[in-house]
Amino acid sequence: MEKLNRLGPGIFLDLKFHDIPNTVEGAVTSALHIPGVQFLDVHALGGLEMMRVAAKARDEAAARGSAVPKLLAITILTSMDNKALRGVGIGGPASKRVVQLARMAQEAGMDGVVASPQEVRAIRRACGKSARPFQSDECLDWSAEFQINFCNRVREIVPAARATRPEFPVMLDKF
């Protein structure tokens, strides 16, 4: 990780933590000590309490004076459509589940969410005007983030226009 940090603009530690709250708290606490990490993520499907303890670990590190990464919650993977969600026992349209998870992430104290561009308007309506979209390849503008992601995305559109640093960002996962 130290070599990666020296190579460039920062690290998105895309580990998508999803486990019992105690385990995620420990994982986040450990990840906070890795130099150069600008973003760290958890799966929102891990639930409110899991996200709360992740945010608590981040906040405690910040209170000790540590530089901390932005903590993002993955909503519904963009490779999953409604049929795939039903196949794993999640009912209803993906767009509704994404909004539900975004609200929960905001309540838990996450810095933002990762979602398909299709859900941006609905997330902004649900989470307030401070929820502004930014694209992952635009994060260099405010966080020196760089992510390479190889995945099949089925819920995708041409992303919205460039946005400024938001208070509660919606990360558009659009590779």
Catalytic residues: 16
- Distance CA(50)–CA(109), nearest Å, equals 11
Tokens standing for residue 90: 């999640």
Tokens standing for residue 133: 């979209």
Angle between helices 94-108 and 48-63 (to 10 degrees): 40
**H or E stretch covering 94:** helix 94-108
Give SS3 for 51.
helix
